[in-house]
Structure 1
C-alpha cells in the first residue's frame, strides 16, 4: 500500500476514535430540520435512518467542483469519473450501482432513461443550500430507484431583507468561476435568483495504458452555465405557493478515439427542472402539499452524432396528520411519467411509460422508544405492480445514545432503453418475458450518539439486490451481440462509521466505510468499488482566519467484474483557508490534491492533478 495511503489511514483511524469520545462545544446539526427520511419535516436528532446533511457552509468551505466531488469528500459515496468535471460520472452509495440512488433537486426527480440514474456531472453546486443523503432502501417512501439510497438537493431560498451574493475565482488549468445571487422578499413574495459560469482548460483526462482506445495527449476542458429562479408567495396564513425553475448546461471536451487525434470531440449536457408546489396547513394537525415537477436530461455528442433525451413528469399529493402527542400519519399519491427520445428505440425513437402509486406511513415517538412504518404500492404500465415496505425502530438506552434498526425492500424499474431497443426482450419469441424490476432487500442495525456538540453514528447493513439487469448472451432479443437480462444478483454488506467533535479550538470530523459489495453468484467484488473508504477533516478559527484540511482515502478496486484489472488505492490531501476582510467580504484559497498524486477511478482515465483556486465572495445587504 502506498505510504500516503497508509499515513492517511492511520490518521483517519485516530480521528474516528477521537470523534467517539471527545467532548465538544461547536454548533451541532442535531436540531436541523430535514425532510428526506420520511418526506415530512423532522429534527435530525429524531431520524432513525442513516442520514447525512451537508450545509451551505460546508459547500463554500470545500469549493467542490461538482456534487459528486462534494459527496465523496464528505464520505457519502464512492465516485467514478471518466476524466474531468464535465465527464460521465457515477456514484456508488453503500456499494450499490449508480442507477440505484434516487436523486431529487427541490423535490424533482432527476434520471436518465438511457444510462439509468442521474447525470451527476450536470447538477450544479453554486446554487445549493444543503444536501441530504439518505443511505439505505427508501422505495416505500419514494418508489423506484431508491435501492441504495436517496440524495436530495435543495437550492437556495429567499426571504427577509434583500441581499446579494457574488463570487469570483481564478485557478490553475485556466479555471475561471463567477456566480451571483439576489435574495429577499417584498410583501407576500419571496425570491431567490442565482446564476453561475465556470470555464477551465482542464487536464489530459486519458492515460496511455495497454488496451486504451482513446488516449490523446491534450487538455480536455469544459464550460458550465447555470441559473435558478425561485419565487414563493404566502397567499394566506398556512397557504404557500412556490415556483422553481432550474437550467444547467455543460459543454465538455473528451477524447473519443486516438485514431482521430485532431477531432474536437464534445459532450453537450442540459439538466433542467421545473416545479410548482402548493403547501397548505388546513388545521394544526393536517398539512398537505400538491406539486407538479418536470425534469429534462439531454445528452449529445459532437461531431460523433449521438442524442438522447429523458423527460420525467411527476404529479404528487403528500401530507401528514398528527393523531396525538408523538403519533403521526403520512400519506402520498403520485403519478410518474417517463419519456425517452433515442434513435436506438424500436418504437420510432420514442419510448413512454407511467407509474401510479399510493403510500402511507406511521410515525411513533413514545419517550425512549421510536417506531416508523412505511408502505407503498406502485403500478407500472410496463412491468406491473410492486409493493414495498420499511419498518424502523429506535430505543434510547441512555440520554443521547440510541440503538436503531430497520428492515425494508426497494426496487428499480428497467429503463426505457433496456426495454425498448433491439437489446431488450423480444416478446414475439417463445418463453421471453419483459424485464422485471431490480429488487433490494435490506436489514441494518446501528448506534446513534449525540450530546452537546459531539455526534457519532455506526451502522451495519446487509442489502441483497436480485433481478439485476446485465448485458448478457444473445438469444432473447433481436440483437446477435447480446441482450439485457435479469440474471444477476449482488450482496452489499458493510459497516459505516461517522463522527464529529471539537478538541480545543479544532473542529474534527471523520467517516470510515468497511464494505464488501460482491456478485452473489461468484463472490467477486463489484467493479470499481473498494473494500475500505475514509475521510478526515479538521478546521479552526484563528482571528479572522478559518483554516481547514481534509483527507480522502480509498483502498484498491477492480476495474472489471472478473477482478483481473486492478486500480490502485489512493489518499488525497486538500487544504482550504478563508480570511474575513470585513463582515461582507472574504478571501478564500483552496488547494486540492496538494501532493499531486496520480489517481484513477476508471481504467484509462486520469483524475484531477493538484489544483489551486483563489476566490473572493461579497455578500452585501441591500
Structure 2
C-alpha cells in the first residue's frame, strides 16, 4: 500500500465507521423527489435501488471542473483520466466498463458510437443543479447501456422570483473561470439562461516512464465554454411544456508523440443536447410525458486528422397510473436512432440504426412491504430483440430499518463502429456471426436505515457480464490487425457502504467500497480497477464561515488485463472554505490535492498536482 494511502487510511476508516454507526442527514433530504430509479417521480426515502443524489450545494462547495470529478469525489465511481481536465476520461460504476453506464443530461441520452459510452470530459458541471446516480442494471427501464447503472444530470432550474447568479475565479496553473445565470418567470412562462467559461494552462499530463510514447515536458492546457437555455410554460392546469438547449465546447492540448515535440496537438469536442417535453396531469391518477431529445458528440484532433460525430435521437412517451393507494403502473414507448459519421466505416463513412421499445412497471406498497417489477422489450434494427426485467422488494423490519433486494438483467448494444468498420465481423466469411449485445445479470441485497435525522445504506451485489466485446485476434473481419469479438466475461461483485453523521456541529459523509471486478475466465482484476475505494467529506459552519474537507482514497490497481503493470494506490486531501461577505456575496477558497501527491490512474499519464482556486459568487434577488 502506498504511503499516500497509508497517510489517510486510519483517520478515514475511523471517521467512516463513525459515519456508518451514527449516520445522520437532514430529514428533508429523504423527502427529495427523484426520477431516475423508476423514471417517474418518487421520494428518495421510498427508493428501493441504490441511489445517490449530489446537490447544487455539494457542487458549489467542491468547485470541481467536471461531472467525472464530482462523482469520484462523492464515492459514486472510479475515475481514470489520460491527463488534464480535457483528456479522455472513463468512469467505472461498480467496476463496470465506462460504456456500461447510461448518461442522461436533462433526460437526453449522451453517447459516442465510436468509443462507446458517454464522453465524460465533454460534460461540464458549472451549470448543473443536481446529479442522480443509480447503481445497478436498469435496462428494464432505460434499455441499452445501463449494465452498471445510470447517471442522470439536471441543469439549473427555471422559474421563481427573478434572480441572478454570477461567479468568477482565479487559480494556479493560470486558471480563470467565469459563469453567470439569469432565472425567473413572466406570467405562465419561466426561464433559465446560463453561460460559463474556463481556461487554464494546465500541467504536464504525461510521465517519463519506460515504454511511454508520448512524453513531452510541456504544459497541456484547456479551454471550456458552456451555455444552457431552459424555457417552460404552464399551458393549463396540470399541463406544462419545456424546451432545453445545451451547448458545450472544449479545446484541449495533448501530447500525441514524443517524436514530434514541437507539434501543438489539440482535441476539440462539441457536445450539444436539445429536448422538448410536454408533461400532462390528466387526472389525479394519470400522468404522461411526451418528449423528443437529440444529442450530438463531435470529437476532432488536429493537426493529426481524426473526426468522429455521433448523433442520438430519442422520442419517448412515458407515464404512470395510480390504480389505488400504494399501487401504481408505469408505462413507456420509445424510439432511439443512432448515427455515426466516421471515415473508418465501410458504408461511405456513415452508419445508422434504430431501436423501438415498449416497457411497463408495477409499484406496490402496503404496510412494511414494497415491491416493484419492471419489464421492457427492445427491438434493434441491427441485431434483433432483447428482453430485460428487474424485480425489487423491500421490507421494513422496524421503523426506519428496511431490507431490500433485487434481481435483474441488462444489455449494451454493440456500437456502430464495432460493427461497421473493417474490424467488425465480415459476414461473408463462413461461420462468422454478427456481434451480439453485451449482457449483464445482477443480484443484490441491502440494508437501509434512517430516522428523523439519520441515514445509512449497505449493499452487496454480484453482476455477471457476458458477451463482452473486445478487440481480439484477426480472422473474423477484413483487418489483419485484429477484430471485435464477443469472447469475454466479467464478474463484478462487492459491498458498498454509505452514511453520514453530525458530530459537534460537523457534518460527515463517507463511502467505502470493497469490490472485486474480475475477468471470469482468468480471475484477474479488470484493468485500472481497485479492490478498495473510500471517500470522506466533512463541513461545518462557524459564524459566516463554512469550512470543508474531503478525502479520496484508492487501493492499488493494474493498468493492463494481464495484471503485470501495477499502479499504486493513493489518498488525496481537498480543502475548501466559504465566507459570506453579505447575504448575496460569498468568497470561496479551494485547495485540491493539498499535500501535492503524485498519482496516476493510467500508465504514462499524470494527475493534477496541488491546485488552488479563489472564487467570488454573487447571487442577488432582482
| Number of positions where the alignment pairs a residue of Structure 1 with one of Structure 2 | 622
Equivalent in the alignment of 1:312: 312
Cα distance in structure 1, aligned partners of 2:276 and 2:218: 44
2:218 and 2:453 map into 1 onto residues whose CA distance is 48
1:61-140 alignment to 2 at 5 Å?
61-140=61-140
Q: What per-residue deviation string (whole Å, max 9, x for no partner) do you get for residues 422-445 of structure 1?
A: 000000011111000000000000
| Aligned partners of 1:77 and 1:94 also within 8 Å | yes
Residues 135-163 of structure 1, C-alpha deviations (whole Å, 9 max, x = no match): 00000000000000000000011111110
Distance across 1 between alignment mates of 2:387 and 2:4 = 47
For the Cα contact (< 8 Å) 1:24–1:503, is it kept in 2?
no
1:566 is matched with 566
Q: How far apart are 1:4 and its partner, in Å? A: 3.1
Do the aligned partners of 2:22 and 2:500 also contact (CA within 8 Å) in 1?
no
- 1:249-270 alpha-carbon deviations (Å, 9 max, x no partner): 0000000000000001000000
Matched, 1:169 2:160: no
CA distance in 1, matches of 2:22, 2:115: 45
- Whether contact under 8 Å (1:444, 1:461) holds in the other structure is yes
Alignment-derived partner of residue 468 in structure 1: 468
Structure 1 partner of 2:446: 446
Structure 1 contact 19–455 (Cα < 8 Å) conserved: no
* Contact 1:331–1:361 (Cα < 8 Å) also in 2: yes
Q: Quick one: distance in 1 between partners of 2:4 and 2:309?
A: 43
Q: CA deviation at 1:16?
A: 2.1
**Could you tell me whether the CA contact under 8 Å between 1:28 and 1:454 is conserved in 2?**
no
SS at 2:587 equivalent = strand
In structure 2, C-alpha distance between the alignment counterparts of 1:28 and 1:602, rounded to whole Å: 40
Question: SS of the residue aligned with 1:433?
Answer: coil
Find the aligned partners of 2:92 and 2:52 in 1 and give their Cα distance: 15
- Aligned equivalents of 1:321, 1:79: Cα separation in 2: 39
> Cα deviation per residue 1:556-583 (whole Å; 9 max; x = unaligned)?
0000000000000000000000000000
CA–CA distance in structure 2, aligned partners of residues 5 and 201 of structure 1: 29
Please give the TM-score of this superposition, normalised by the length of structure 2: 0.99
1:366 aligns with: 366
Find the counterpart in structure 1 of residue 379 from structure 2: 379
Change (3 A) 1:25 1:513: closer
Deviation at 1:455, TM superposition (A): 1.0
What residue is the counterpart of 2:141 in the other structure? 141
| Structure 2: stretches of 5+ with no match in the other structure | none
Q: Secondary structure of 2:418's partner?
A: helix
| Superposed CA RMSD | 0.8
Q: CA deviation at 1:126?
A: 0.8
Residue matched to 1:498:
498
Deviation at 1:25, TM superposition (A): 7.0
How far apart are residue 90 of structure 1 and its match?
0.2
The equivalent of 2:406 in structure 1 is 406
Distance in 2, matches of 1:20 and 1:486, equals 41
Offset from partner CA, 1:15-36 (integer Å, 9 cap, x none): 2221233264745411100000
Provide the residue aligned with 1:484 in structure 2: 484
- Show CA shifts across 1:435-462 (max 9, x none): 0000000000000011122211000000
Give the whole-Å Cα distance in 1 for the aligned partners of 2:25 and 2:136: 30
CA deviation map 1:249-300 (0-9, x unaligned): 0000000000000001000000100000000000100000000000000000
Shift of 1:537: 1.0
| Equivalent residue, structure 2, for 1:289 | 289
Q: Name the structure 2 match of 1:346.
A: 346
Distance (Å, rounded) in 2 between the aligned partners of 1:527 and 1:202: 27
Distance across 2 between alignment mates of 1:341 and 1:132: 31
5 Å-filtered alignment, 1:514-529, equals: 514-529=514-529
TM-score by length of 1: 0.99
Worse-superposed segment, 498-507 or 1-10: 1-10
Aligned to 1:537: 537
Asked whether 1:513 is paired with 2:513, we answer: yes
Q: Deviations over 1:352-379 (max 9, x none)?
A: 0000000000000112100000000000
User: CA 1:242 to 1:360, structure 2 compared with 1: closer, same or farther past 3 Å?
Assistant: same
The verdict on how the C-alpha distance between 1:254 and 1:436 changes in structure 2, with shifts beyond 3 A counting, is: same
> Which residue in 1 is equivalent to 2:337?
337
- 8 A contact 1:26–1:501 mirrored in 2: no
Structure-2 change in CA distance of 1:24 and 1:435 (3 Å):
closer
Over residues 12-57 of structure 1, what are the superposed CA-to-partner deviations in whole Å (9 max), with x where a residue is unaligned? 2212221233264745411100000000000000000000000000
Q: Which SS does the other structure have where 2:245 is aligned?
A: strand
Q: Secondary structure at the match of 1:481?
A: coil
What is the alpha-carbon distance in structure 1 between the residues aligned to residue 33 and residue 157 of structure 2? 15
Task: State the alpha-carbon separation in 2 of the partners of residues 25 and 121 from structure 1.
Answer: 31
- What is the CA-CA distance between 1:124 and the residue it aligns to? 1.1
Aligned to 1:45: 45
Cα offsets for 1:382-417 (capped at 9, x unmatched): 000000000000000011010000000000000000
In the alignment, the residues of structure 1 paired with residue 437 and residue 401 of structure 2 have an alpha-carbon distance, to the nearest angstrom, of 38
User: For the residues of structure 1 that align with 2:26 and 2:273, how far apart are their CA atoms?
Assistant: 36
Kept in 1, the 8 Å contact 2:23–2:456? The answer is no
8 Å contact from structure 1 (residues 86, 121) kept in 2: yes
The aligned residue for residue 210 of structure 2 is 210
* 1:196 CA displacement: 0.1
Other-structure match for 2:12: 12
Q: 2:185 maps to what in 1?
A: 185
SS of residue in 2 equivalent to 1:582: coil
Higher deviation after alignment, 143-152 or 21-30: 21-30
Q: Is the 8 A contact 2:505 2:541 kept in 1?
A: yes
